Chains A and B, each alone.
Chain A
Amino acid sequence: MLRIMGKKLGAPGFTALPAGLALRSYSSSAKQMTIREAINSALDEEMAADQSVFLMGEEVGEYQGAYKVSKGLLQKYGPERVVDTPITECGFTGIGVGAAFYGLRPVVEFMTFNFAMQAMDQIINSAAKTNYMSSGNISVPIVFRGPNGAAAGVGAQHSQCYAAWYGSCPGLKVLIPYSSEDARGLLKAAIRDPDPVVFLENELLYGEAFPVSAEVLDSGFCIPIGKAKIEREGKHVTITAFSKMVGFSLQAAEILAKDGIDAEVINLRSIRPLDRATINASVRKTNRLLTVEEGFPQHGVGAEICASIVEDSFGYLDAPVERITGADVPLPYAANLERMALPQVEDIVRAAKRACYRSLPIAATA
C-alpha cells in the first residue's frame, strides 16, 4: 500500500514549513477521494469563496465536464460563472487572459493540453509576459488547467506532455499534481495565486482514489507552490517524478527494496518553480539520481534537473545521472508499441539499478 506522509501546512501557499514539525501517517480508515473529486471540490470551494473566480472551456457546463471534472458546477453557479465555449482555443484563451487583465480570476480548461497549442501565443505572450512588460501595472491571475500527457491509445496528437515546454517560460508557474491531496492543495493555491499558472492534470489519474486527511478536506487547504514532496524516503538513489510517474516510481521502489536498494521518491509537484533545493539535498544524501518523466527526452524536465545537480552537487554524484522518459517518437497507437514508447515500472527499476552500479546498460550499436 502507498504510504502517504502528511504535513501540517501554514497559510495558503506562502509560508515555509516550520522546522521540527511532526509527520503523521494515516490509517486506512482515512477518507478516500478520487482526483476528479479533488479537482471538483477545489473548484467548487474557490468559486464559493471568491466571486471573481469563474470556469470556462469546452463542455464544462451542460455536459458536466468532458471528463466530468466540473460536474454540478453549472447547476450551483450558473452559466455566467461556468461558461461553455465554442471549440476556439485561441479565442477563448485570449478572452480569459483579457478578463484576468481586468481583475477577474478565470480558470480556463483545455480538454487536453494538446489543444492548448492553438492558444500558445495567448498563454506565453499575453499571459506570462505582461506583468513584466508592464512593470507590474497589469497582472494576470489566471489558471490554465486540463489533462496533459498520454492517456490510453489516443494516438500521437492527443498524448504529448507539455511540462518541459511551459516549464521553461519565465512568468508562468507550472504545477502538476499526483495525488488527491496534491490536486486539491495545488489547484487551490493556483487559483489564489496572482500569476498565470499552468495546472497539468492526467486523464488516467482522474478515477484513482487516494486517502485524504481532514486537513486536506478543509476549505482553506493549500500546498505551497515551488515545493516538492518526498513521497518515500530512501538512502541509495533519488528518483524524481511527477504526475502518473510518481505512482510508477513508488511501485519501482517497492521492487527495488526487495533487492536491497532503498529508493527516495520525490514528487516534484511544481515544475516551475522547480524545487532545486529539495532535489539537491536528496542527491547529496543518496549520491545517485534517476529522473522519470513521460514526455519527450530532448530538453525535458530531467535534463534540467540533471543540469541543476551537475551545477550544484557535482562532487556528491557517485554515478552518472540516469533519465527515463517517453520515447523519441510520436506516440504510436498499437498497444505494444505504445507500451514501448512510454516509461514502465520495469524501466524505472532497471535504470535505478544502473545508477547503483547493479547492472550494465546495453552496449550501443555502432
Chain B
Amino acid sequence: MAQLTRRTTDLLKPFSAALSSTRLLTTTSTNPITVETSLPFTGHRIDPPSRTVETTPQELMSFFRDMALMRRMEIAADSLYKAKLIRGFCHLYDGQEAVAVGMEAAITKKDCIITAYRDHCIFIGRGGTLLQCFSELMGRKDGCSKGKGGSMHFYKKENGFYGGHGIVGAQVPLGCGLAFAQKYSKDENVTFAMYGDGAANQGQLFEALNMAALWDLPAILVCENNHYGMGTAEWRAAKSPSYYKRGDYVPGLKVDGMDAFAVKQACKFAKEHALKNGPIILEMDTYRYHGHSMSDPGSTYRTRDEISGVRQERDPVERIRKLVLSHDLATEKELKDIEKEVRKKVDEAIAQAKESPMPDPSELFTNVYVKGYGVEAFGADRKELKAVLP
C-alpha cells in the first residue's frame, strides 16, 4: 500500500455517526491532500515528474464515484450484449477506468481526446450521459450518434471528444491533426491521442509522430498498454514492448495506469511539456478484465489467475476506496451506498434507453453530407426506396 500523508485535522474526524454533516463537509472540501503514486515514473529522454500528487477530498470522492459508475456501466453493457440488446462489436473498458478518470482530472474540455473503439468510459469522462451511452449501444435515437454509430463511434465534439474509431491506429494521425489545428488556431490546448499496445506497431503512428515532432505539435500519444492486442500478448507482437521508448527521439513516460493519481500527474506533466516542446508519449500500464470484445472470453490467451491477480493487487477502484478510507473521507458503508446509488443510476438509464425508439427510417439518408444539394440517394431497391439529400 502507498504511504499516505494526512493533512486532515482532528476537527474533521467525526466523533460519531450523528456527525455525518461534518463528514459531508469533508467530502466536498477542497483542502489539499497529498498522495504518493504507487510506483515511480520511468522517463525516456525526459526527467519524470514527482511521485507526490496534490489532490482534494472532493477530487478523491469524485474519482471513486466516476470510476464506480464506469465500472458498473461496462458490466451492465456485458449483460445487455448477452441479452442481444447490443449487437455487433462491444469492447469493454472495465479495469482501465483510472486512465479515463485520471486524464480528465488533469485537463479541460478544451483539450481534445481521441481514442479507438474501447471508448464508452472516455465518452462518459468527457461529459457524455449514461442515457446517450446505452441508447447508442442499443441503436436507439437518443444515442449520442442517434443510433447510427454504435459502440465504436461515440463522439462529443463540443466537449473535445473526437471519437470513437474502428480502424486500429487511424486515430493517431487524426489526433495529431487535432493538435495541428490547435496550434494553427493558437489555442494553447493539447490533444491526447489514445491507442493500445496492438496499435503501437502501426506505421501510420510513426508517420504522424514524425510530423508532430518536426512541427512541434501539442500532441500527447497515450498508449493504453493492457498487454494484449486482441489475443496476442505484447511480447509476441512487439520486438520492443517498451512503448514509452518507441518514439525514439520523442520523450516518453511509463505510468502505472491502474493508479488514477499517477495518470493525473502524468497527464498534467505531459500537457505542460507538449505546449512548450511538442509531442510526448505516455505509456499507461493498465489491464482489461474482459476479453478484447464480447466475442472473446479473454481466457484462452491468459490465465484466470492472472486476471484475478490483477483484480486483487491493482484494481483501480479498490485503490481509491482504500485511499478514501485511510483519509477518513467516508466509511465503508458510505462507499457501498455510493456504489448502490451508481448501480441505480445505471439501471434507470438502461430502462430509459430501452424506451427510446429506434431511429426513424428517414434517418437512413441523413448526415451522408452536410450539404446534399438535392442529390438522390438510393436504397437496396432503387425503384422502391430513394431519398433526396438536403
- Chain-B contact segment, one of A69-77, A127-135, A287-295: A127-135
The distance in angstroms between the C-alpha atoms of A88 and B203, with both chains bound, is 10
CB < 8 Å: which of A88, A98, A125 contacts B175? A98
Q: Does B165 contact A (CB under 8 A)?
A: yes
Chain A residue numbers with a CB within 8 Å of B144 are 137
In the complex, what residue of chain B is closest to A308 when comparing beta carbons?
B382
A-B contact pairs, 23 of them (CB 8 A): A54-B184, A91-B176, A92-B207, A94-B170, A95-B180, A96-B177, A98-B114, A98-B175, A103-B185, A125-B167, A131-B367, A131-B368, A131-B370, A133-B155, A134-B145, A138-B162, A173-B369, A194-B370, A224-B373, A226-B373, A273-B375, A276-B376, A311-B382
Q: Does B270 contact A (CB under 8 A)?
A: no
CB 8 Å contact bits of A101-144 with B (1 = contact, 0 = none): 11110000000000000000110011000111111111101000
The distance in angstroms between the C-alpha atoms of A231 and B362, with both chains bound, is 37
In the complex, chain B residues 282-317 whose Cβ is within 8 Å of any chain A Cβ: none
Given the known interface contacts A121-B170, A137-B157, the answer about A95 and B184 at a Cβ–Cβ threshold of 8 Å is no
CB < 8 Å: which of A85, A126, A273, A276 contacts B373? A273
Q: Does A99 contact B (CB under 8 A)?
A: yes
- Assess whether A103 is in contact with B181, with CB atoms less than 8 Å apart: yes
CB < 8 Å: which of A14, A99, A122, A136 contacts B370? A136
Chain A residue numbers with a CB within 8 Å of B165 are 126
A307 smallest CB distance to B (angstroms): 10
Q: Does A153 contact B (CB under 8 A)?
A: no
The distance in angstroms between the C-alpha atoms of A109 and B177, with both chains bound, is 15
In the complex, chain A residues 170-229 whose Cβ is within 8 Å of any chain B Cβ: 170-171, 173, 193-195, 224-226
Chain A residue numbers with a CB within 8 Å of B204 are 90-91, 94
CB 8 Å contact bits of A266-292 with B (1 = contact, 0 = none): 000000010010000000000000000
**B-side interface residues, number (CB < 8 Å):** 53
The distance in angstroms between the C-alpha atoms of A121 and B171, with both chains bound, is 11
- Assess whether B170 is in contact with A126, with CB atoms less than 8 Å apart: yes
In the complex, chain B residues 147-204 whose Cβ is within 8 Å of any chain A Cβ: 147-149, 153, 155-157, 162-167, 170, 172-182, 184-185, 203-204
- Assess whether A94 is in contact with B173, with CB atoms less than 8 Å apart: yes
Q: Does A100 contact B (CB under 8 A)?
A: yes
Q: Does B210 contact A (CB under 8 A)?
A: yes
Given the known interface contacts A90-B203, A100-B177, A133-B149, the answer about A170 and B368 at a Cβ–Cβ threshold of 8 Å is yes
- Assess whether A131 is in contact with B153, with CB atoms less than 8 Å apart: no
Q: Does A97 contact B (CB under 8 A)?
A: yes
Given the known interface contacts A95-B176, A226-B375, the answer about A137 and B145 at a Cβ–Cβ threshold of 8 Å is yes
Q: Does A41 contact B (CB under 8 A)?
A: no
- Assess whether A170 is in contact with B373, with CB atoms less than 8 Å apart: no
The distance in angstroms between the C-alpha atoms of A100 and B214, with both chains bound, is 20
B160 smallest CB distance to A (angstroms): 10
- Assess whether A86 is in contact with B211, with CB atoms less than 8 Å apart: yes
In the complex, what residue of chain B is closest to A196 when comparing beta carbons?
B369
The distance in angstroms between the C-alpha atoms of A80 and B373, with both chains bound, is 33
In the complex, what residue of chain B is closest to A84 when comparing beta carbons?
B214
Query: Interface residue tally of chain A, by bracket?
Result: 35 or more
- Assess whether B149 is in contact with A131, with CB atoms less than 8 Å apart: no
CB < 8 Å: which of B167, B185, B208, B367 contacts A136? B367
Q: Does B239 contact A (CB under 8 A)?
A: no
Chain A residue numbers with a CB within 8 Å of B371 are 14, 193-195
Chain A residue numbers with a CB within 8 Å of B383 are 311
Q: Does A243 contact B (CB under 8 A)?
A: no
Chain B residue numbers with a CB within 8 Å of A194 are 369-371
Q: Does B146 contact A (CB under 8 A)?
A: yes
CB < 8 Å: which of A101, A136, A170, A171 contacts B162? A101
Q: Does A93 contact B (CB under 8 A)?
A: yes
**What 7 pairs across the A-B complex have the smallest Cβ distances?**
A98-B177, A94-B173, A91-B207, A102-B181, A88-B207, A98-B174, A194-B370
- Assess whether A101 is in contact with B203, with CB atoms less than 8 Å apart: no
In the complex, chain A residues 36-69 whose Cβ is within 8 Å of any chain B Cβ: 54
Given the known interface contacts A91-B208, A136-B370, A226-B373, the answer about A80 and B155 at a Cβ–Cβ threshold of 8 Å is no
In the complex, chain B residues 80-96 whose Cβ is within 8 Å of any chain A Cβ: none
Given the known interface contacts A95-B177, A95-B180, A98-B176, the answer about A133 and B153 at a Cβ–Cβ threshold of 8 Å is yes
The distance in angstroms between the C-alpha atoms of A228 and B144, with both chains bound, is 38
The distance in angstroms between the C-alpha atoms of A362 and B341, with both chains bound, is 81
In the complex, chain B residues 205-228 whose Cβ is within 8 Å of any chain A Cβ: 206-208, 210-211, 214-215
Q: Does B105 contact A (CB under 8 A)?
A: no
Chain A residue numbers with a CB within 8 Å of B60 are none
Chain B residue numbers with a CB within 8 Å of A90 are 173, 203-204, 207
Chain B residue numbers with a CB within 8 Å of A85 are 211
Q: Does B122 contact A (CB under 8 A)?
A: no
Chain A residue numbers with a CB within 8 Å of B19 are none
CB 8 Å contact bits of A133-175 with B (1 = contact, 0 = none): 1111111010000000000000000000000000000110100
CB < 8 Å: which of B180, B214, B370, B375 contacts A98? B180
Q: Does B377 contact A (CB under 8 A)?
A: yes
- Assess whether B211 is in contact with A137, with CB atoms less than 8 Å apart: no
Chain A residue numbers with a CB within 8 Å of B157 are 101, 134, 137-138
- Assess whether B166 is in contact with A98, with CB atoms less than 8 Å apart: no
Chain B residue numbers with a CB within 8 Å of A138 are 155, 157, 162-163
Chain B residue numbers with a CB within 8 Å of A226 are 373, 375
CB < 8 Å: which of A14, A101, A135, A224 contacts B177? A101
- Assess whether A139 is in contact with B177, with CB atoms less than 8 Å apart: no
Q: Does B267 contact A (CB under 8 A)?
A: no
Chain B residue numbers with a CB within 8 Å of A95 are 173-174, 176-177, 180, 208, 211
- Assess whether B112 is in contact with A135, with CB atoms less than 8 Å apart: no
